[in-house]
Structure 1
């Protein structure tokens, strides 16, 4: 379990910048076990092509996103999923205490991007549903090289100008154990193509309806 310094630094970065990047948020051992399970689920065809939208608007969207996912079921989680889930719940409680965000629920899934796939620029909050407050992603890729691509490109709204060609963004590479959290309504982002399988756990903290 991360110590209080990880939770404090995450809260301070969210308060200052609206996003936080926390290397080594989960241990190498947990990251390795989660990656092993994600790969095993992929081989067993338990990861399925992702959708975009929700409700009546939910649809396959291969041209928008190319990842394959499998949602965690809180009633039937594996040992390693439970370990990760418990850390996210501890983070949720800490952020509520420090930032008064009113985070009430958490949902998450494995995400595997095959080589060459991407997720085009978007926001995580639905137009007709404002319950999502924070987006999170935790990476599971050992020995990742920046030359392999696969960065999360986070567009920084406070730094944008009127000229599109001068848009400011930060590229965050998917190194194992790194956690990224950001305000769902504020940050457009995209996943850039990689040259190898790119593994992560993606999810959202939501407020009560």
Structure 2
């Protein structure tokens, strides 16, 4: 899998993150590579390896279908060649962003996420109140031939102005990578009419860990 990221793409992503707090790159991987990842996600689901996602931490960890409806499996090195290559690609991105923005990103965690038709994830932030390590959220979409009316958009809330709130709806198109600051942008996943697949992850800095 491609792990080289062009200087031009890195510069654009870095500029967008600095100026607006989010960035989008289409065709981040080759179409064949994206299809392999989608196939891997579906195979794992068929094998019962994806489980209902929970919200909260520690004693507050709960499965709440009225808040979040996806099923997930965390990626670990050695699970499969295609996910190992994906982790290498994201590590190349981590190193490139560190070189451009001096973010101090130390590692990357990620999971497959499968939303069945009608599932959603209500508005939230990606950084925990008691753990400040997550710095940059990254969502890579695996949905080929996604139609304009299928729903399932990622809605980024760009400001908290009560009079004129601004938001951006991002379609979950195959090959599209979305980056945004984990502690700054509230977001939600809107219901889709069909199955919706992604790899969702976070670049983490050292931070102060669990507070």
1:97, distance to aligned residue in structure 2 (A): 0.8
- Tell me the residue number matched to 1:161: 161
Does residue 6 of structure 1 match 2:9? yes
- Tell me the residue number matched to 1:199: 197
SS of residue paired to 1:146: coil
Q: Where in structure 1 do 4 or more consecutive aligned residues deviate above 4 Å?
A: none
- Tell me the residue number matched to 1:55: 58
Q: Distance in 2 between matches of 1:108 and 1:31?
A: 16
1:5, distance to aligned residue in structure 2 (A): 2.1
Unpaired runs of 5+ residues, structure 2, are: none
Does residue 179 of structure 1 match 2:177? yes
Q: Normalising to structure 2: TM-score of the pair?
A: 0.94
Task: Kindly report which structure 2 residues correspond to 1:14-33, keeping only aligned pairs within 5 A, or say none.
Answer: 14-33=17-36
Task: Kindly report which structure 2 residues correspond to 1:1-209, keeping only aligned pairs within 5 A, or say none.
Answer: 1=2, 2-74=5-77, 76-157=78-159, 160-163=160-163, 166-208=164-206, 209=208
1:172, distance to aligned residue in structure 2 (A): 0.2
Q: Normalising to structure 1: TM-score of the pair?
A: 0.95
Check whether the contact 1:6–1:25 (CA below 8 A) recurs between aligned residues.
Answer: no
1:161, distance to aligned residue in structure 2 (A): 2.2
Q: Distance in 2 between matches of 1:113 and 1:105?
A: 26
1:27, distance to aligned residue in structure 2 (A): 1.0
Q: Distance in 2 between matches of 1:142 and 1:186?
A: 30
Q: Distance in 2 between matches of 1:15 and 1:113?
A: 31
Q: Distance in 1 between matches of 2:57 and 2:7?
A: 35
Q: Distance in 2 between matches of 1:177 and 1:60?
A: 29
SS of residue paired to 2:149: helix
SS of residue paired to 1:204: strand
Q: Distance in 2 between matches of 1:117 and 1:148?
A: 12
Unpaired runs of 5+ residues, structure 1, are: none
Bigger fraction of residues in helix: 1
